[in-house]
Amino acid sequence: MLNKVLLLCSIFVLGGCAVQDEPMPQITYDTDYYKSSETVKPRLSTPAPGRAVSGGEGLTQGWVPPSSVEKKWTAIVIHHSGTKNGDSAIFDKWHRENNHWQGVGYDFVVGNGSNSGNGEVEVTYRWQKQVTGAHVGGTPGNWANKDAVGICLVGDFNKTQPTNAQMQSLVKLVRFLQNRYGIPRSRVYGHKDTPGVGTVTDCPGRNFPMTWLKSQVLP
């Protein structure tokens, strides 16, 4: 019985806020908390299989997908992992072995300094190949997985807040995507607020500063 309980607990924790079936293919924030005079430069490391790591000035390495497969994305959905630590390789392994997906469900993973750099933006195989995501369940026509970019920040934001470095990197990534695909601020969503979402979730967590994020991205 104890082993069964432990197994169920581990599934709940590592599952994060991801959807359970792969689709086809009140706190007051200190707004100065995320301001910094320093430019975040995530470390550049050797990617694991199926993983590309951003780094260097501008944080744009690997953000531009191959022109031969590039899609017209229309929205952005923000997630938290629901875990204290992790990175794209860990989530990829979990999603493959436990959800039986093709791999990690997100397009980008932003590290918190646990298993990847604090503010490090990892580009997953889904973005590199421009394939349908697996990060929002139940939307009509599966639109959120087909047409929205899925970005996951490592952390459980029901218990803590994103790091300064994570938010700086997220703002830069979101603005890059807005510029490239003409995505308005009104179509930058938290998972729980995605139109038509078919699963009950509080992702990206009650402590995620969505209002602050919206104030920093393009109109």
Model pLDDT for residues 84-111, shown as the tens digit of each residue: 999 999 999 988 898 888 999 999 999 9
The per-residue pLDDT for 144 is: 95
Q: What is the mean pLDDT of residues 121-133?
A: 95
Residue of 203, 205, 154 whose CA lies nearest to 19: 203
Q: Is the pTM of this model over 0.75?
A: yes
How would you classify the pairing of strands 188-190 and 148-153? Answer: unpaired
- Of 36-40, 104-108, 120-124, where does mean pLDDT reach its minimum? 36-40
Inform me whether the pLDDT recorded for 15 exceeds 70.
no
φ/ψ of 153, rounded to 5, equals -95, 130
Domain boundaries in the chain? 69-219
Q: What is the pLDDT of residues 141-189, one digit of tens each?
A: 999 999 999 999 999 999 999 999 999 999 999 999 999 999 999 999 9
Inform me whether the pLDDT recorded for 49 exceeds 60.
no
Of all residues in the chain, the percent with pLDDT exceeding 90 is 65
d(CA 118, CA 45): 13
**CATH architecture for residues 69-219:** 3-Layer(aba) Sandwich (3.40)
The per-residue pLDDT for 16 is: 53
Average pLDDT, the chain: 80
Inform me whether the pLDDT recorded for 51 exceeds 90.
no
Q: What is the mean pLDDT of residues 40-48?
A: 35
The per-residue pLDDT for 17 is: 67
The per-residue pLDDT for 100 is: 85
